Amino acid sequence: MEESAKDKLPRATAKRLPLYLRNLNILEAEGVIRIKSREFAEITKIPSATIRRDFSYLGELGRSGYGYDVPYLIEVFTALLEANEKKSIAIVGFGNLGRAIAKNNFRRNDNLAISCVFDNNPALVGKEITGFYVYDIRDLKRMVQEKNVSVVITTVPSENSQIVVDEIVASGVTAILNFSSDRVDIPKNVNMRYIDLTTELLTLVFFDHHYKNRPLVVTT
Amino acid sequence: MEESAKDKLPRATAKRLPLYLRNLNILEAEGVIRIKSREFAEITKIPSATIRRDFSYLGELGRSGYGYDVPYLIEVFTALLEANEKKSIAIVGFGNLGRAIAKNNFRRNDNLAISCVFDNNPALVGKEITGFYVYDIRDLKRMVQEKNVSVVITTVPSENSQIVVDEIVASGVTAILNFSSDRVDIPKNVNMRYIDLTTELLTLVFFDHHYKNRPLVVTT
């Protein structure tokens, strides 16, 4: 695919790519080498028309009546998501949530690896906790360069969120996953993604009450 | 608003409601009592046209040129999301992630409360950990009834996900938040929401590379 096609992908389509790739990898592991959009819709809970339209942006990935070639889709989507390139990830805030993420350490994807973790708590800094040496938050900029960090996950509470995000931005990282839901100011070149459990839960409760018998789409 | 209007809300709109409500509550706490769609768009990172359309489904919430009344919006959205009704939440899987969620315990919303936690690890069951008595997973059905649980959060690893989800479904709960990304089979009347950190991270990396200077929308 040309660079230009990639850059013209609708954002809604782009957001579904990781979900597609995840499910294709599961299918391949189960020995499935070909899949029709209708079958894939059942698995992903995304309407088959949406799947066909999404895939159409990416070129000739399948034929009508034949279905899609699973290994080929994986190849295309992996390249697109750069899922085969090593990403060095840092965690700021090494309480329960930080440790849970570190312990999981993206087992599903060998190319995502947590390379360093930070906290400002003197009781944690300088210690090794669940296999990770805890750096002082003041070492962030130096370690980002040393470990070639491209994504930072912050789990610090909302009252410190802006300060920490400012430090992350100052370190040169432009991709931040934020578990504190309060909005913070970031420069235009920085991409931030918030994960807010309260919002997730309220959405779930709402759908549970108002959309009975129409299961919720499983994207995150 | 009539029951019928609520039930006809587009799903995409419904999914944005918790984000709207969260930001409206922040605004009210800051003393803001009126807001224009353009200002609210800047805060939420959702296009103002989308906001106006979403709000229009809910009736006459604002006037052109005047803006929206913040306390009134909060009232309408809170009722719609049932955010003022007590929800009893259970956590299954009380490792690092379960404890992180329990510790946070939806501080932002007094009506969401974790009422009981479960594990199958004999080293944890029957003990009090971070303020929560850990029940055996076999007590799930009984405790769901006793504590009137309406939502279950599962943090168990993917290899046990289906078994645990089957138990949750058998307990009568129809709203499940699942931190294991593997798809599991559920009856049609059950609403499941998956939170998959690998997918979140890959999406973030993709946007960071391809959508520079167009910050990512902050919905979860």
Domain of A66 in residue numbering reads as 3-80
Look up residue B55 and give its DSSP letter: H
Q: Across the strands, what pairs with B129?
A: B132
**How many other CB atoms are there within 10 angstroms of residue B53's CB atom?**
14
Q: What is the predicted pLDDT for the residue at B45?
A: 78
CATH number, domain with residue A114: 3.40.50.720
B118 and B61 both lie in a single domain: no
Q: A192–B218: do the CB atoms touch at under 8 Å?
A: yes
Q: Are A206 and B82 inside 8 Å of each other by CB? A: yes
| Nearest Cβ partner for A216 among B89, B193, B220 | B193
pLDDT at residue number B217: 44
Question: Closest Cα of chain B to A195: distance in Å?
Answer: 5
Q: How far apart are CA B195 and CA B209, in angstroms?
A: 23
Q: Which two tokens stand for residue B84?
A: 């003022």
Chain B residues closer than 8 Å to A4 by CB: none
B218 in a structural domain: no
Q: Do B96 and A108 touch (CB under 8 A)?
A: no
What is d(CA A143, CA A139) in angstroms, rounded to the nearest whole number? Answer: 6
Which amino acid type is present at position B113? A
In a domain, B62, yes or no: yes
| Chain B residue whose CA is closest to A80 | B206
H-state helical runs in A105-218: 140-146, 158-170, 197-210
Chain A nearest-CA residue for B151: A205
- From B46, B80, B114, give the residue that closes a domain: B80
pLDDT of residue B211: 62
Is residue B129 assigned to a domain? yes
Three-class SS string for A120-143? CCCCCCCCEECCEEEEEHHHHHHH
Q: What is the pLDDT of residue B212?
A: 57
Instruction: Note the pTM of the prediction, 2 decimals.
Output: 0.77
> Are residues A58 and A112 both part of a single domain?
no
Q: Which residue has the tokens 């029940």?
A: B135
**Which among B196, B208, B210, B44 is positioned nearest to A176, based on CA atoms?**
B208
Q: Which residues of chain B have a CB within 8 Å of the CB of A25?
A: none
Establish, for the pair of chains A and B, how many residue pairs have beta carbons separated by less than 8 Å: 236
In a domain, A146, yes or no: yes
Q: What does the pLDDT read at residue A217? A: 44
Could you tell me if A67 and A107 lie in one domain? no
Write the ipTM.
0.76
Same-domain check for residues B102 and B192: yes
A23, A52, A80: which is the final residue of a domain? A80
- Contact indicator for A47, A41 with CB cutoff of 8 Å: yes
Question: Are residues A61 and A121 part of one domain?
Answer: no
Chain A: give the shortest CA distance to residue B171, in Å.
16
Evaluate whether A88 touches A148 at the Cβ level (below 8 Å). yes
C-alpha to C-alpha distance for B29 and B24, rounded to whole angstroms = 9
Residue B220 lies inside a defined structural domain of this protein: no
Distance, in Å, from the CA atom of A45 to the CA atom of A218, rounded to the nearest integer, reads 6
Tokens 């709402």 appear where?
A: A206
In a domain, B213, yes or no: no
DSSP A19-83: HHHHHHHHHHHTT--EE-HHHHHHHHTS-HHHHHHHHHTT-S-EETTTEEEHHHHHHHHHHHHTT
| Domain stops at, among B60, B80, B100 | B80
Give the domain CATH number at B27.
1.10.10.10
A198 and B106 in contact by Cβ < 8 A?
yes
* Residue B197 to residue A109, Cβ atoms within 8 A: no
Q: How far is A153 from chain B (nearest CA, A)?
A: 9
- The DSSP H or E segment spanning B151 is strand B149-154
A207: in domain:
no
For residue A15, the model assigns a pLDDT of 81
Instruction: Tell me: do A65 and A97 sit in the same domain.
Output: no
A181/A159 same-domain check: yes
A179: enclosing H helix or E strand: none
Q: Are strands B112-119 and B87-92 parallel, antiparallel or unpaired?
A: parallel
With a cut of 50, list the residues of chain A below it in pLDDT. 1-4, 213-220
> What residues in B contact A181, CB-CB < 8 Å?
22, 108
* Same domain as B95, residue B166: yes
Residues in A closer than 8 angstroms to B22, CB to CB, are 181, 196, 198-199
Instruction: Report residues of chain B scoring pLDDT below 70.
Output: 1-8, 64, 105, 107-108, 211-220
Domain assignment present for residue A206? The answer is: no
Number of domains making up chain B: 2
Of B15, B6, B179, B172, the residue nearest B98 (C-alpha): B179
- Name chain A contacts of B193, Cβ cutoff 8 Å: 200, 203-204, 207, 216, 218
